[in-house]
Amino acid sequence: MSSEEPEIVRELREEERSGRLRVHDEGGVDDVVVEDADESWSVGCVPTGGGKKPVNLGDPVVLYQTIFENSAVAITLTDENERLIRWNPYAERLLGRGRDDLWMLPVKSLYPAEEWAKIRFQNVRQRGITHHLETRMVRKNGECFDVDLSLSMLKDQVGNVIGSIGIVKDISASKSLEKALRRSEETFKQLYEKAPVLYHTLSPRGEITNINEQWSRVMGYPKEEVLGKYIFDFIEFSERDAAVRSFESKIASKQQFSQPTERMYKTRSGEERIFLIRDFLVFDENDAVLSIQTTMVDVTERKMMEKSLLERRDELEQVVAERTAELLQKNVRLHEEAVEHEQIETALELTLSHLKESQDKIQEQNRQLRKLDELKTNFLNVASHELRTPLASIKGFAQIMHERMIGEISDEQERGLTVVLRNVERLDRLIQDILDISRLESGTMQYKPEPVTVSDLLTEAVNIVKPLTGHRKVTIHADDCHTLQPLIIDKGRIVQVLVNLLNNAVKFSPNQSTISVRTRLQGDQVLFEVEDQGRGIPADNLEKIFETFFQVDQGLDRKFGGTGLGLSIARGIVDAHGGRIWAESTPGAGSILRFTLPVISQIEQSHSQQKEIKITSHR
């Protein structure tokens, strides 16, 4: 073929050479199997009839026409007015247009307006050369698609343009692949740049080839300042050697992923931050490491928190250990205390059982004592009565004799009878006292309450005592309180009390001294006072003198006689009246014995109640 051959012819030759056309060589005849060839499908096609039939490819026209018809690229021919006059079947499929649509169609309408403008701008027609460009075409339904377009001008012998041949390849698939790739690249770039973690890319030598925005922000370096620098320069000094070794071993291992490691980096401001590093090795087609993609997650705060949590845990463990030790100590102490308590309890139980035994013994003794007491009281009652009966007859006969009622007696007999009568009197007095004590103790003392004036009481008592005072020249001065209202009392018993106090006062008074008796009303009580100027009573005996048989002077050297029963009986009687009796004294200067009586005494109610009177033996 000559150089004037149309471009399409040259391209078809090329197709043949590349083997893309299926050629059958049978019996020395070059045949091409034309599939679905149909005279009717395009203007200017070789009329080959329907079905498959052998075509003589020895004829170059037939050959190229066959190629033309079977080409997998669209081939179009235009006339000098740029209207379509020929095309192959593939062109119809690609352009989505039928024969009637294409025949004499201005080629311009196959392109979107802006693409046609571009083609026009390149002025292919004028330049008259084969032109190759990527553009877009439009189908009948308006759908646009990407194409690779080769345009060749057809000229006559004198160089006039008589038409053009266009060869159109559908590149929409590769274009959309390209776009998808671009989009994915862009997405990746965005992810890389905008990711909230730090990204850097390293060369296999450890030089930084890229960092993302977060890296720049956290580490404080602008991108241009770090590119080309060694990553190790940003690692905290003490970890640098370890980081280099780890990096080298990762490169040597050729493992795409490696275990995440923690590294401490130093930011531009000198701050130390801990990152969790994950490396991803990228290899070239020869398996050599091309780059290392690294993500760095800032775990500084988490690490600090972990550290403080660990410290806190240690502290807590310490506290727990201390508390446990304390508790153990306390436990030991409690155990010891429990043992001690148990011992005390046992001792207490023992003591209690001893006490119980003692109590039982005491109760038994008390019971026996009460029995003895009863026996004693009974004995005293019986004995006193039995003693008083013969004493009464002794007294009676002695008095009859003393008063010479049965005949004259000599002076000596009279003196003797006087002594007998005095001692009978003393004995009777003693027996009466014992009987009184016995009655008081047993609660059988009888009282006869009656209205009595204080004045009567005093007169009677003083008259009884007066005979004892004469030879001693002791004066009794009674403060006669006539204004007092009568008391409801047992007159005889209260006179007995007063006589007892006056007897003691006379007994313990020095010669020629005065005994004062005073009375006064205190609320609903009358106070009686008997004051002497005698030797007094020691302070520690002021209470004891009211006990049965108690005497200040004890033993054989006592000078004053007496039985120690008088005050005991006095207290029993006063108590029975609802009063109170007590003593005051200035030893060496005198004593005051006082008692009170309610104006209306309680003896009606109380006289039968048993009064506890202590019976003690002081001799």
Residues 224 and 233: their CA atoms lie apart, in Å, by 15
Residue number, 88 or 548, with CB nearest to ligand ADP: 548
Closest CA to 441 of 272, 575, 602, 296: 575
What's the closest the beta carbon of residue 563 comes to ligand ADP, in angstroms? 5
Smallest distance, Å, CB 343 to ligand ADP?
52
Distance CA 13, CA 22 (A): 13
**273, HSE (Cβ side, Cα atoms, 13 Å):** 20
Question: Judged by CB under 6 A, which stretch of 224-232, 344-352, 443-451, 563-571 contacts ligand ADP?
Answer: 563-571
Beta-strand runs (E) in 205-332: 208-211, 261-266, 272-283, 289-298
Closer to ligand ADP at the Cβ: 123 or 423?
A: 423
CB of 461 to ligand ADP, least distance (A): 14
**Is 345 among the residues that bind ligand ADP (CB under 6 A)?**
no
- The angle that helices 454-465 and 491-508 make with each other, rounded to 10 degrees, is 50
Question: Which residue in the set 198, 545, 573, 574 belongs to the binding site for ligand ADP (CB under 6 A)?
Answer: 545
Contacts (CB under 6 A) with ligand ADP, residues 129-168: none
Taking the least distance from each CB to ligand ADP, the nearer of 89 and 566 is: 566
Closest to ligand ADP by CB, 138 vs 505, is 505
In the chain, the amino acid numbered 407 is G
Q: Which of 6, 89, 166, 564 binds ligand ADP (CB under 6 A)?
A: 564
Q: Which is nearer to ligand ADP, 487 or 537 (CB)?
A: 537
Quote the least distance from Cβ 544 to ligand ADP, whole Å: 8
DSSP one-letter code for 104: T
Rounded to the nearest whole angstrom, what is the least distance from the CB of residue 552 to ligand ADP in the complex? 3
Using the minimum distance from each CB to ligand ADP, give the nearer residue, 449 or 590.
590
Q: Is 452 in the site for ligand ADP (CB under 6 A)?
A: no
Closest CA to 67 of 11, 1, 106, 108: 11
Q: Which of residues 484-543 bind ligand ADP (CB under 6 A)?
A: 500, 504-505, 508, 532, 534-535, 537
Letters for 378-417 (x = contact with ligand ADP by CB under 6 A, - = none) are: ----------------------------------------
At position 389, the amino acid (one-letter code) is T
Q: Are 275 and 296 in contact (CB under 8 A)?
A: yes
Contacts of 599 (CB under 8 A, 6+ apart): 485, 487, 488, 521, 524, 525, 526
Q: Are the C-beta atoms of residues 476 and 517 closer than 8 Å to each other?
A: yes
Q: For ligand ADP, which stretch binds (CB under 6 A), given 53-61, 62-70, 370-378, 558-566?
A: 558-566
Please, which residues have CB within 8 angstroms of residue 348's CB and are 6 or more apart in sequence? none
By CB under 6 A, the residues from 587 to 606 that bind ligand ADP are: 591
Q: Which amino acid is at 158?
A: V
Q: Is 551 in the site for ligand ADP (CB under 6 A)?
A: yes
Candidates 552, 599, 600, 615; binder of ligand ADP (CB under 6 A) is 552
Which residues are CB-contacts of 603 (< 8 A; sequence separation ≥ 6)?
447, 449, 489, 490, 576, 577, 578
The neighbouring-strand residues paired with 79 are 163
Is the distance from CB of 132 to CB of 150 less than 8 angstroms? Answer: yes
562 lies in the binding site for ligand ADP (CB under 6 A): yes
Q: Which window, 213-221, 234-242, 466-474, 561-569, contacts ligand ADP (CB under 6 A)?
A: 561-569
- Alpha helices (H) in 147-236, listed in sequence order: 172-194, 213-219, 223-226
Q: Which is nearer to ligand ADP, 105 or 434 (CB)?
A: 434
Choice between 218 and 613, CB closer to ligand ADP: 613
Per-residue exposure over 580-617, b if at least 16 CB sit within 10 Å of its own CB, e if not: ebebebeeeebbbbbbbbbebbbbeeebeeebebebee
Stretch that binds ligand ADP, among 10-18, 144-152, 347-355, 565-573 (CB under 6 A): 565-573
Burial of 274 (0-12, 13-18, 19+ CB in 10 A): buried
Quick one: 251 or 552, whose CB is closer to ligand ADP? Answer: 552
Q: What amino acid is encoded at 219 in this protein? A: M
Minimum CB separation of residue 345 from ligand ADP in Å reads 50
Task: Report the residue closest to ligand ADP, judged by CB.
Answer: 562
Q: What string of DSSP letters covers 377-426? A: HHHHHHHHHHHHHHHHHHHHHHHHHHTTTTS---HHHHHHHHHHHHHHHH
| Least separation in angstroms between CB 466 and ligand ADP | 17
Smallest separation, CB 396 to ligand ADP (Å): 26
Tell me how far, at minimum, the Cβ of 476 lies from ligand ADP, in Å.
13
Cβ closer to ligand ADP: 452 or 537?
537
Could you tell me how many residues of this chain bind ligand ADP (CB under 6 A)?
A: 21
| Binding residue (CB under 6 A) for ligand ADP from 154, 465, 567, 573 | 567
Residue 147 has, within 13 A of its CA and on its CB side, a CA count of 27
- Residue written as tokens 């010891």? 336
- Total count of residues recorded for the chain: 619
User: Does the protein bind ligand ADP through residue 615 (CB under 6 A)?
Assistant: no
Question: Which CB sits closer to ligand ADP, 279 or 531?
Answer: 531
> In this complex, which beta carbon is closest to ligand ADP, that of residue 508 or of residue 595?
508
Binding site for ligand ADP (CB under 6 A): 500, 504-505, 508, 532, 534-535, 537, 545, 550-553, 562-568, 591
